[in-house]
A and B are shown apart, each in its own frame.
Chain A
Amino acid sequence: MNWRAVGAIIRKDIKVVLRSKAVLLPIILVPLFIQVILPAALGLGVNLIPQSSSEMEDLAQMMSAMPPGLQEQLGSLDEKQLFLTLMLVYVFAPFFLIVPLMVSSVIAADSFAGEKERKTLEALLHSAITNQELLAGKLLAAWLPAIAVSLASFLLYGVIANAVGWPILGQIFFPTTMWFVLVLWVAPAVSGLGLGVTVLISSRVKTFQEAYQLGGIIVVPIVALVIGQAAGVLYLSSGFTFALGLIAWLIDAALLWLGIRTFQRERLLAQL
């Protein structure tokens, strides 16, 4: 493996992404909204507005659907503390996964389908780079920034969550063990998932926009997680989160295998 060539692809793809507003804006705005604005607004709301009795009834109903272990763990909290903890620790956790998923998808769409659209791929296919080096460079060019943005938004989220939680909880309550599993184990796997799906989609479409829009389908499992938690069907315990990560890694491996098989010069040329 010629790592110099792989590194060149990574640097080039990231540089090209940073120079495109269409690609850069979602990478900045989505984490900003999910990890900063939304939790800050929620925290401020809990601090400033008194809870109505109907909301408290909803909360009690949601709490009664949670596993006994969690009920016991959160049993000592008053209503506001309980609401804030449930929202910022559990309900927001699946939302966090949108960040690595979206970042890897948008960069992969630009790197694979976008390169076809811009007609920049042919010269690269005529160079001495191997198929494996080209694929490795392009995958890492999308995966590494997704990890970096996820870590940065996690750190920001931690600061915001503790800042808005401090007046109500009086302690640093975030991150929990589950969040460490989520950030260090699940998020990299989920970004691999976004990447793999977008690469497969990119091989069948001609433009960045098509790949990006079709890639949006991958957000469906995350929406299912959000609904599942809200309905009390499941909750993200450390064990469940770990298992979730394991499934994502296994799907990643399958997608990578498929990617290696389909990422061939001849096929790529045929799509130009």
Chain B
Amino acid sequence: MATTDIVIATRHFTRRFGDLVAVNNLTLEVFRGEIFGLLGHNGAGKTTTIRLLNGVLAANSGSARVLGFDPSKDGTALRRRTGVLTENPSLDDRLTARENLLFYADINNVPRGKAPRRIEELLVDFELLERADEQAGGYSKGMKQRLALARALLHEPELLFLDEPTTGLDPVASLYVRQLITHLSKHKGRTVLLCTHNLVEAQRLCDRVAVLEHGQLLAVGTPADLGHRFGKVHKLAVELEHEQVPQALEILKQEQGITVEAEDKVLHIIGAVRERIPALIQLLTNAHIRIYRVTPQEPSLEDVYFALHGEGENSL
């Protein structure tokens, strides 16, 4: 990847609040046009990382370049080129949607001649036009989130920081926001740094993810790459002749280190490491069990996440 394609680069970035180390020695790179996910529990340091990268907070040590700027020195210049969706929509409830956007058009210096048309476009794109002149206080959570996202995009920023963009949204609104984020990255070339603890969302949206715990970077890579590296739980789906399922169950129950569950004519074998798959299948074929399909299931980001945090799903 060329240096010019690096939008965010941090080296040993650290921020403390008294005794608490909110971001600890963070070193990572984010490339132009990618959707990069920051994963972690509440308090993992995701929001602080956004604040540091956008020059709102200063780091105690380490360095960072964001869009070529040092956030601690050139915060104002940097923020002209970034857009932020904060965890709370942070909208003025006493202003209408149009007034909220007009206010931020002035704050972000969107050319006066261009601002009304840009606002109209965003209101249409985010399906807010019909209620654009109603006070935002009367909006649903989903509408507020869409309006906050429109505000973040108003000045056409190159880099977007999205902090928990779908928290509290219903499934339809969440899907809409996810589609929008993908569109912004893939069709408009925007770089997106997304904070979330929604692992399914991260897996669907992100090109790469970083897992944080207590401000420390545990791992970084594509979801698939992390799955191979850290996924502890290996799953295998085996489709059989329906009447042979009890016999297959009996055979596999003799095997150590795996759990087998039957679902109609499919056996789910959990805990089978890649190297063991041929031997397990051979056991079944030796017993003349007819196998129609064997599907290894890649470890999900969720598996990786819990593996990295040293927790099981059940501990939730």
Give the total of A residues in contact with B, Cβ under 8 Å: 28
In the complex the two chains form, is B94's CB within 8 Å of A123's CB? no
Q: How far is the CA of A20 from the CA of B108 in the complex (A)?
A: 26
CB distance from A270 to the nearest CB of B (A): 8
A127 touches B107 (CB 8 A): yes
List B contacts of A209 (CB < 8 A): none
> For the complex, is A19 an interface residue (Cβ under 8 Å from B)?
yes
- Tell me the A103-123 residues at the B interface (CB within 8 Å): 118-123
| A15 CB–B CB distance under 8 Å | yes
Contacts of B95 in A (CB 8 A): 12, 15-16
In the complex, how many residue pairs between chain A and chain B have their CB atoms under 8 Å apart? 77
Segment at the B interface, from A1-9, A197-205, A230-238: A1-9
Q: Does residue B99 face the partner (Cβ distance < 8 Å to A)?
A: yes
With the chains together, A196 CA to B129 CA distance in Å?
40
Q: Is the interface of A mostly helix, strand, loop or mixed?
A: helix
CB pair A16 B94 closer than 8 Å: yes
Q: In the complex, what residue of chain B is closest to A119 when comparing beta carbons?
A: B88
State A5–B79 Cα separation when bound (angstroms).
14
A144 within 8 A of B: no
Chain A positions 63 through 80: 1 when the CB is less than 8 Å from some CB of chain B, otherwise 0:
000000000000000000
B106 touches A15 (CB 8 A): no
Is B80 in the interface zone, CB < 8 Å from A?
yes
Which of B28-36, B54-62, B174-182, B185-193 sits within the interface?
B54-62
Query: Is A126 a contact of B103 with CB atoms below 8 Å?
Result: no
Cβ–Cβ contact A128 & B80, under 8 A: yes
Q: Quick one: which of B56, B92, B93 contacts A12, CB cutoff 8 A? A: B92
Cβ proximity bits A1-37 to B, threshold 8 Å, 1 near / 0 not: 0101101110110011001100000000000000000
**Which of A4, A120, A122, A266 meets B92, CB within 8 Å?**
A120
Q: Does B91 have its Cβ within 8 Å of any Cβ on chain A?
A: yes
Contacts of B56 in A (CB 8 A): 125-126, 265-266, 269
A249 to B94, CA, bound (A): 34
A11 to B105, CA, bound (A): 13
Distance, CA A124 to CA B108, complexed state (A): 10
> Which residues of chain A in 125-161 are interfacial with respect to chain B, using CB atoms and an 8 Å cutoff?
125-130
Q: A5 touching B109 by the CB < 8 A rule?
A: yes
Chain A contacts with B in 88-110, Cβ cutoff 8 A: none
CB-CB nearest in chain A for B83: A126
CB within 8 Å for A123 and B109 given contacts A266-B57, A266-B58, A269-B51: no
Question: How far is the CB of B200 from the nearest CB of chain A, in Å?
Answer: 27
- Chain B contacts for A265, CB-based, 8 A: 56-57, 75
Q: List 6 A-B contacts (CB under 8 A).
A: A12-B103, A118-B93, A126-B79, A128-B76, A266-B57, A269-B57
